[in-house]
């Protein structure tokens, strides 16, 4: 039977593949990828695209739910699960499939069939864990809404209670929208580049304080906007810092180049391992605080005899990991190319009276070689962005002969690619542990340890 786009088929889902989609075989032979599906599901699904050897389909009806599907089988779409592409799986199953995804890339891309991938470290909080959320404004008829973009679309859909945002963050956004709708402000139109309200960002901390950032399409902050924000602060006492971010550029980037403090403190504080960090509108800080503590503890415990070691924190950002490492290590060198991040790190170290971290502003490729010539470095910790580390940098790291590497990655594919290069250069991967930083989504972090052989 010839398949056609728009056709409704019945299909059983066999497995979840890397990226989080379910895979089944129509008539036992033609591969069909189905988002939001669970192994064991028997589905009626509508074909949305066809290639020569595979197709994609969307669930229209769950005939029989798979055993690992959450109980409410009325929810079938990406939007039903608030944009959470693993929301349809119970939590134990999420952890299982995340481990399988890491195993897949370590074997297939990393070409390593020896190392045992450990069980995924689950998050102690499965929902309402995000300490930062950015939502675009949009219009639903006459109502001003915020929310998420629909899958592969710029249309915004609103949810009553964002299941990932902190409870306080949800309350602030709800109150803000209520006040904005009374004031009847305009909403930004990206095609026409007109209208005022672009995004809202809320950051919360473990001390039940919040920072509110209103992103607007303007060159200055009007009295009207100040009055609006004053009303929000009166309604939600936990807000201790309020900014307006001016963004009048034609761009998809949410935060503008100029962030103006309107009320309260410049920063909110957060605490990890007894170290206080200052968080501004543009600061990078991990989204899931409780799991971040466990991630860093895992990484630190991967170093052997850490108390006697001099460690390089490469691609250090504001030096968060380096400062936490410094509580146990003999000495830490923190290398980062972005000058503002280095300044933030130096300030945080001074405020916390940390004296055994040295900050170096520069390119890891150049600075690591220089450092090795003057200091005996035992180990290095890598925590690069999603794109991973370029081959030249990995070859330079291998060349200087550091005996031990701990690698934290937010992208298992680039982690596996980089591990394969390091293993070619005389390292051996001896530990791999997935860490679930983002429950309800298919994203997965991974921590690995390599030793020079």
Residues in the chain: 453
Q: Quick check: 73 pLDDT over 80?
A: no
Residue 74's pLDDT band, with cuts at 50, 70 and 90, is confident
Nearest to 63 by CA among 17, 11, 25: 11
Q: Specify the pLDDT at position 22.
A: 96
* Segment (H or E) for 332: strand 331-336
Bigger pLDDT: 2 vs 168: 168
Q: What is the mean pLDDT of the segment spanning 175-191?
A: 93
CA distance 46 to 39: 18
Q: What is the mean pLDDT of the segment spanning 70-88?
A: 90
Q: What is the mean pLDDT of the segment spanning 153-180?
A: 93
Q: What is the mean pLDDT of the segment spanning 264-277?
A: 94
Quote the percentage of the chain above a pLDDT of 90: 86
Are 247 and 256 spatial neighbours (Cβ–Cβ below 8 Å)?
yes
The phi, psi pair for 398, rounded to 5°, reads -65, -35
Question: Which structure tokens are listed for 213?
Answer: 């950032």
Interval 204-225: pLDDT, tens: 999 999 999 999 999 999 999 9
Domains by residue range for the chain, with CATH: 8-76 (2.40.50.140), 95-125+287-452 (3.40.50.150), 132-272 (2.40.50.1070)
Are 236 and 224 spatial neighbours (Cβ–Cβ below 8 Å)?
no
Q: Specify the pLDDT at position 20.
A: 87
User: pTM for this structure?
Assistant: 0.92
The number of beta carbons lying within 10 Å of the beta carbon of residue 266 is 12
The number of beta carbons lying within 10 Å of the beta carbon of residue 210 is 24
The HSE-up count of residue 49 (CA atoms within 13 Å, CB side) is: 6
Which H, E and C letters describe 22-52, residue by residue?
EEEEECCCEEEEECCCCCCCEEEEEEEEECC
CA distance 84 to 128: 12
Q: What is the mean pLDDT of the segment spanning 111-126?
A: 97
CA distance 303 to 305: 6
Q: Specify the pLDDT at position 1.
A: 66
Nearest to 397 by CA among 415, 428, 421: 421
Interval 318-350: pLDDT, tens: 899 999 999 999 999 999 999 988 998 999 999
Q: What is the mean pLDDT of the segment spanning 354-377?
A: 92
How far is Cα of residue 396 from the mean position of the Cα atoms in its chain? 28
Are 64 and 42 spatial neighbours (Cβ–Cβ below 8 Å)?
yes
Which residue numbers are catalytic?
410
Interval 9-50: pLDDT, tens: 999 999 999 888 999 999 999 999 999 999 999 999 999 999
Question: Which structure tokens are listed for 149?
Answer: 């973009």
Q: Specify the pLDDT at position 2.
A: 85
Question: Which structure tokens are listed for 147?
Answer: 């929310």
Average model confidence (pLDDT) across the chain? 94
Sign of CA dihedral 319, 242, 159, 255: negative
Q: Specify the pLDDT at position 121.
A: 98
């Amino acid at each position: 039977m010839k398949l056609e786009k728009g056709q409704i088929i019945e299909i059983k889902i066999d497995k979840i593949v890397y990226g989080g989609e379910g895979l089944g075989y129509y008539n036992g032979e033609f591969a069909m990828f189905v988002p939001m599906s669970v192994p064991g599901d028997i589905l009626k699904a509508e074909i949305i695209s066809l290639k020569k050897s595979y197709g994609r389909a969307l669930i229209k009806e769950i005939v029989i739910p798979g055993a690992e599907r959450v109980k409410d089988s009325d929810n079938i779409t990406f939007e039903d699960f608030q944009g959470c592409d693993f929301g349809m799986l119970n939590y134990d199953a999420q952890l299982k499939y995340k481990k399988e995804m890491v195993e897949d890339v370590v074997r297939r891309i990393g070409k390593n069939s020896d190392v045992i991938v450990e069980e995924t470290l689950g998050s102690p909080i499965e929902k309402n864990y995000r300490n930062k959320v950015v939502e675009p404004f949009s219009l639903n008829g006459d109502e001003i809404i915020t929310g998420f973009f629909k899958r592969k679309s710029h249309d915004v859909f609103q949810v009553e209670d964002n299941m990932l945002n902190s409870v306080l963050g949800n309350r602030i956004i709800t109150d803000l929208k209520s006040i904005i709708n009374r004031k009847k402000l305009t909403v930004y139109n990206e095609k026409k580049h007109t209208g005022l309200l672009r995004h809202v960002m809320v950051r919360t901390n473990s001390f039940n304080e919040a920072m509110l950032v209103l992103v607007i399409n303007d060159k200055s902050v009007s009295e009207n906007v100040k009055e609006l924000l004053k009303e929000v602060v009166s309604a939600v006492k936990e807000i201790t810092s309020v900014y307006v971010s001016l963004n009048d550029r034609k761009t998809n980037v949410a935060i503008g180049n100029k962030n103006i403090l309107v009320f309260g403190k410049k920063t909110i504080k957060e605490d990890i391992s007894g170290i206080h960090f200052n968080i501004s509108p543009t600061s990078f800080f991990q989204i899931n605080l409780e799991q971040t503590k466990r991630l860093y503890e895992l990484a630190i415990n991967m170093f052997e005899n850490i108390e006697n070691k001099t460690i390089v924190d490469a691609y250090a950002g504001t030096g968060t990991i380096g400062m936490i490492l410094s509580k146990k290590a003999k000495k830490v060198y923190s290398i980062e190319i972005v000058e503002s991040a280095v300044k933030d790190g130096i300030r945080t170290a001074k405020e916390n009276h940390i004296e055994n971290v040295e900050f170096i502003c520069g390119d890891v490729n150049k600075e690591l070689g220089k450092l090795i010539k003057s200091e005996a470095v035992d180990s290095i910790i890598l925590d690069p962005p999603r794109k991973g580390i370029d081959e030249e940098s990995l070859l330079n790291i291998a060349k200087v002969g550091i005996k031990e590497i701990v690698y934290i990655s937010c992208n298992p594919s680039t982690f596996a690619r980089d591990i394969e290069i390091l293993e070619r250069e005389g390292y051996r991967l001896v530990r791999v542990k997935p860490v679930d930083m983002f429950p309800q989504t298919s994203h997965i972090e991974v921590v690995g340890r390599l030793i020079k052989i």
